[in-house]
Amino acid sequence: MIKVPIENLIQKLIEQSGLSETEIKNKISEKTKKFDGLVSEEGAAFMVATDLNIKILDDPSTKILKINELHPGMTGVEIICKIKKIYPSRFFEKEGRKIEYIGIELIDESGTIRTTLWDKRASLVTESRIKEGDSLRIKNCSIRENKYSGKDLQLIANTQIIINQDEVNVDVNKIQITNLDNPTLNSPVKVHGTIVAGNEPRFYQGCITCNRKITENGCAEHGNESKNIPILSMVLDDGKGNCRITCFGDVANNFYGAELTSESEPNYVGDYISVEGIIRHNTSYDRTEMTVNNINRLKAEEVILMLKNGS
């Protein structure tokens, strides 16, 4: 099943129906009440779309999609993008064979998404056939849900990767700066602010290769080998609003400056920081939350310069 955030569904209904946000939300609420909890809010939105004769989702195999149009569950997807970042090579062993994998971050004018080059496809990087800033046309891929980043682009056996055929007019180094009183949602953003509250680090057992939480049967793709993966949760305030931010794994360790353990006592309240990530609205708690992919403490002179420049 394709999983589309309710905010995206509501926005599409507004754009295609001409109705106001309040009218659309009322129609969705009426549907959920009518079915007495038997359908989700997202399901009710699809039913409203049917009532209004609106097609919310195009068949992903019939058009080239933007990154912000990709949702978990989609298959047969084609996108045109640039390589924003290539991460260091990593390895894991399977059945006595050492397998290389390399994470890359893709970008277009609508947002970013991560994917992984496994095994033979990793040679695209190691043999210098692709580099940061190159354009890629990726055909016949799928979109997988990721608990921490929201979604990943998954390359399958018959995925095609075409290098530097297309012109992509996007600056790979550019990222939108947003404020927390009215933040930009569901797109990569940067925020400057002060940490005003935080919790002790938590941990989960994650796959040593892909970091996904493992079950008692281990990771479905990479076996039973696991490690403690840290989670740092804090509240960031930029003087206009605040937001809960969460760092996972290496991002949390790098911010702490060492490998986090259950005995670690990080002291970060009062730190002025710059964070990059994606802000989403958590409907369950009616609050904004940011999953952080980059976080840096700022020096006093950097803060003063930003305040002078109004950025």
**Could you tell me how far CA 283 lies from the centroid of its own chain?**
17
Residue 177 is predicted with a pLDDT of 87
Nearest CA to 2 out of 65, 84, 81, 80 is that of: 65
Whether residues 30 and 86 share a domain: the answer is: no
Could you tell me the pLDDT band of residue 227, with boundaries at 50, 70 and 90?
confident
Whether residues 300 and 236 share a domain: the answer is: yes
Nearest CA to 90 out of 141, 139, 125 is that of: 125
Residue 79, strand partner residues: 138
Question: What confidence tens digit (pLDDT) does each residue in 38-75 have?
Answer: 888 889 999 999 999 988 877 776 789 999 889 899 99
Could you tell me the pLDDT band of residue 228, with boundaries at 50, 70 and 90?
confident
Number of domains in the chain: 3
**Angle value at C-alpha 187, between 186 and 190, nearest 5 degrees:** 120
CATH of the domain at 114: 2.40.50.140
Could you tell me the pLDDT band of residue 37, with boundaries at 50, 70 and 90?
confident
Whether residues 251 and 182 share a domain: the answer is: yes
Residue 145 is predicted with a pLDDT of 85
Whether residues 159 and 247 share a domain: the answer is: no
Q: pLDDT at residue 96 above 90?
A: no
Copy the structure tokens of residue 92.
Answer: 């894991």
Residue 13 is predicted with a pLDDT of 92
Domain edge (last residue) among 163, 186, 201 = 163
How far apart are alpha carbons 232 and 37 in whole angstroms?
34
Give me the chain's average pLDDT, please.
Answer: 87
Whether residues 108 and 142 share a domain: the answer is: yes
Domain edge (last residue) among 131, 163, 195 = 163
Higher pLDDT pick, 184 / 22:
22
> Which among 8-22, 94-108, 118-132, 223-237 has the top mean pLDDT?
118-132
Domain of 26 in residue numbering reads as 6-51
Contacts 24+ apart (CB under 8 A), 257-263: 260/201, 260/203, 260/230, 260/232, 261/228, 262/201, 262/203
Question: What confidence tens digit (pLDDT) does each residue in 255-307 have?
Answer: 999 989 888 888 899 999 999 988 888 877 788 899 998 899 987 677 667 66
**Per the domain annotation, does 289 fall within a domain?**
yes
- Beta strands 202-207 and 150-154, pairing class: unpaired
**Residues 6+ positions from 212 with CB-CB distance below 8 Å:** 146, 147, 206, 219
Question: What confidence tens digit (pLDDT) does each residue in 80-92 have?
Answer: 999 998 988 988 8
Whether residues 191 and 120 share a domain: the answer is: no
Nearest CA to 6 out of 49, 35, 36 is that of: 49
Residues 278/183, Cβ–Cβ less than 8 Å: no
Whether residues 154 and 258 share a domain: the answer is: no
Whether residues 147 and 221 share a domain: the answer is: no
**Per the domain annotation, does 1 fall within a domain?**
no
**Per the domain annotation, does 170 fall within a domain?**
no
Whether residues 293 and 188 share a domain: the answer is: yes
Whether residues 140 and 224 share a domain: the answer is: no
**Per the domain annotation, does 171 fall within a domain?**
no
Residue 307 is predicted with a pLDDT of 62
Domain edge (last residue) among 132, 163, 194 = 163
Q: pLDDT at residue 241 above 80?
A: yes
Whether residues 189 and 292 share a domain: the answer is: yes
